[in-house]
């Protein structure tokens, strides 16, 4: 494996193991040593359970040393996109912290069809009734559908593999015959925004994630090198056969700490 001087690192399943944000063994020391070795690294996350500020503080308390300018989250993109489209209210499939973040930034979460938008994040309280409310908001009220990402599953705070928000977004797209606005990985615009300020082409960047199907396929499509680490919800190496050959990861490693720097 060649050495890369520019890294984009997923968070959950890559540098931390679960929703308790338990660091992958050795990852804190490995991450904090990168700058001393001339390697630039940015954290890029599809986290939908914490506000960007809360997640930044959590990771810092876990020992990871990085600036806010090197931290990119799908929620900041979603907020900016909804504000550009003059969204004032939304039906949010989200944790309380995310709803609080929206409210603090001028978008009111409502459990109603009478909203400007439907936002899909991880929501353990989702019900068939809430899904039907979302369908009504989109079809009857013209609400725009946003999804924070398309990931299939993740590891929760109990170290159990659970369904993520991607399948929920897919279900609403299918029911309403619409296409959701994708705000995080693997959206091309999200990745390119993460490279701003770096004097490097995508081919000189290594994207590292535990999700070879969404995160890494998207990175490959814009020319990045990709590395699949087996510390998250996807651990079966044989699953790579389900990915078109041209989009398969360049590297498969047991852990992020195995990446040479």
Q: What pLDDT digit, counting tens, does each position of 79-120 carry? A: 999 999 999 999 999 989 899 999 999 999 999 999 999 999
Gap between the Cα atoms of 148 and 180, Å rounded? 9
H helices within the chain, ranges in order?
27-33, 52-61, 74-84, 96-104, 128-141, 166-176, 188-194, 215-221
The alpha carbons of the chain give a radius of gyration, in whole angstroms, of 18
Residue 62: band (very low, low, confident or very high) from pLDDT cuts 50, 70, 90 = very high
What architecture does CATH give domain 6-74+185-258?
Answer: 3-Layer(aba) Sandwich (3.40)
Taking residues 61-81, report their average pLDDT: 95
Which pairing describes strands 181-182 and 144-147: parallel, antiparallel, or unpaired? parallel
**Could you give the count of Cα atoms lying within 13 Å of 101 in the half-sphere of its Cβ?**
23
Q: What pLDDT digit, counting tens, does each position of 166-204 carry? A: 899 999 999 999 999 999 898 999 999 999 999 999 999
* Ranges of CATH 3.40.50.1000 domains, the chain: 6-74+185-258, 86-182
Q: State what percent of residues in the chain have pLDDT above 90.
A: 79
pLDDT reported for residue 152? 80
Rounded to the nearest integer, the mean pLDDT of the chain is 93
pLDDT reported for residue 155? 72
Residue in the block written with tokens 């001028």:
106
Answer for the pair 66, 99: CB distance below 8 angstroms, yes or no: no
| 233 or 36, higher pLDDT | 36
Answer for the pair 182, 154: CB distance below 8 angstroms, yes or no: no
Q: What pLDDT digit, counting tens, does each position of 125-143 carry? A: 899 999 999 999 999 999 9
Residue 207: band (very low, low, confident or very high) from pLDDT cuts 50, 70, 90 = very high
Residue 157 clears pLDDT 80, i.e. is over it? no
Pick the CATH number of 86-182 from 3.40.718.10, 3.40.50.1000, 3.30.479.10, 2.30.42.10: 3.40.50.1000
| 236 or 88, higher pLDDT | 88
Residue 81 in 3-state DSSP?
helix
Gap between the Cα atoms of 132 and 195, Å rounded? 38
Taking residues 15-31, report their average pLDDT: 95
């Amino acid at each position: 494996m060649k050495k890369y001087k520019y890294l984009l690192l997923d968070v959950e399943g890559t540098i931390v193991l679960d929703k308790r944000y338990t660091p992958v063994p050795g990852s804190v020391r490995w991450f904090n040593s990168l700058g001393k070795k001339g390697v630039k690294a940015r954290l890029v996350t599809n986290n939908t359970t914490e506000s960007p500020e809360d997640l930044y503080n959590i990771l810092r308390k876990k020992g990871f040393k990085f600036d806010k300018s090197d931290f990119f989250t799908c929620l900041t993109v979603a907020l900016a996109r909804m504000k550009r489209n003059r969204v004032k209210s939304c039906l949010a499939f989200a944790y309380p912290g995310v709803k609080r973040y929206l409210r603090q930034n001028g978008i009111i979460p409502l459990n109603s069809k009478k909203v400007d938008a439907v936002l899909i994040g991880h929501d353990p309280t989702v019900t068939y009734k809430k899904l039907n409310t979302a369908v009504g908001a989109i079809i009857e009220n013209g609400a725009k559908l946003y999804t924070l990402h398309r990931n299939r599953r993740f590891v929760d705070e109990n170290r159990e593999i659970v369904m993520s928000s991607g399948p929920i977004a897919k279900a609403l797209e299918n029911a309403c015959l619409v296409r959701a606005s994708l705000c995080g990985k693997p959206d091309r615009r999200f990745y390119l925004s993460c490279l701003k300020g770096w004097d490097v082409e995508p081919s000189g960047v290594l994207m590292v994630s535990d999700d070879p199907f969404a995160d890494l396929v998207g990175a490959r499509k814009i020319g990045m090198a990709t590395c699949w680490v087996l510390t998250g919800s996807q651990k079966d190496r044989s699953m790579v056969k389900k990915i078109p050959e041209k989009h398969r990861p360049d590297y498969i490693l047991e852990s992020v700490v195995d990446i040479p720097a």
